[in-house]
Amino acid sequence: MKRLGLALAMTLALSVTAAMGQTLELLGGDDAPFPQFTRNAGPRDVLSALDRAGRSLVAWRYVSLDEDVIALLGRDDHGHRETFSLDGGREYLFQAACDRSCADVDLEMVDASGAVVANDASEAEWPVVTYRPAAAGRFTVRVWLKRCVQDYCYAGFRGYGRLD
């Protein structure tokens, strides 16, 4: 009976390890649909960079909003947009990052009328925009590649709201 339990535990451990390996491959980039990617460049790079960049924000009383936004972007496209409903009077911060094939990523926030209310087009490793809407409304955040050594790179951003 002990042997059966040990064999079952080993089989389960191997299954979990295999599943984790498949998940990491999906998050990585090794099996990316475009062969010109730098080996292992991918969404995992973006998540790691966003984690590193966001560590100090907790001390400034920021909490993460929803889920991270990560997209495969072409070097010459107009980027990726996501729209958020934001509360009036609360400070928001959005921080972007890209994979290791990317040399520069930019970020902007646009209000419902199409006016740019915040942007970071610097060469910062992790561009940041902050904004405190006067009233509740819908705002669109756009991330795009300024410079990428490949034809396609993964880039994304994470949103935060400040606790008052």
For the chain, the domains span 32-162
- 148: tokens are 């990428």
What is the distance between the alpha carbons of residues 78 and 113, in angstroms, rounded to a whole number?
19
What does the pLDDT read at residue 162?
95
The dotted CATH code for 32-162 is 2.60.120.380
Task: Report which of residues 71 and 25 the model is more confident about.
Answer: 71
The reported pTM is 0.73
14-23, 64-73, 130-139, 152-161: lowest mean pLDDT where? 14-23
What is the distance between the alpha carbons of residues 40 and 127, in angstroms, rounded to a whole number?
23
What does the pLDDT read at residue 4?
39
Asked if pLDDT for residue 77 goes beyond 50, the answer is yes
How many other CB atoms sit within 10 Å of the CB of residue 46? 29
- CB 50 within 8 Å of CB 62: no
